[in-house]
Amino acid sequence: MAKKQINVRVDDEVYAGIEERAAAAGMEVTDYARQVLADEANDIRHRFLEAGAHFMDAWGPHFAEKFGHPAPAQDETRGQDAA
């Protein structure tokens, strides 16, 4: 398959954010950017995410009622005093 090249200029703050996310994903910046762009161009991914959001809107309250709410993530409880 032929490949096309895209050159994008971003300011330093945006680049730093991309660089942090790439490092967190264990990827080089160019590979991370390529993956993000490929994900954005993926119609099936977008339809899946829309279907998931629709399911949560329609059935989320019923699901939570039957199975309860998940415990807060560790980060959400950090820094809070016990009552």
- Tens-digit pLDDT profile for residues 28-53: 999 999 999 988 888 887 788 889 89
For residue 38, the enclosing domain spans 12-69
- pLDDT confidence of 11, banded at 50, 70, 90? very high
What whole-number distance in Å separates Cα of residue 20 and Cα of residue 34? 15
> Is residue 31 in some structural domain?
yes
| 10, 22 contact by CB (below 8 A) | no
What whole-number distance in Å separates Cα of residue 44 and Cα of residue 54? 15
> Is residue 77 in some structural domain?
no
> Is residue 24 in some structural domain?
yes
What whole-number distance in Å separates Cα of residue 16 and Cα of residue 9? 13
Greater model confidence, 77 or 4: 4
The number of distinct structural domains making up the chain is 1
> Is residue 74 in some structural domain?
no
Token pair 């009622």 is at which residue?
65
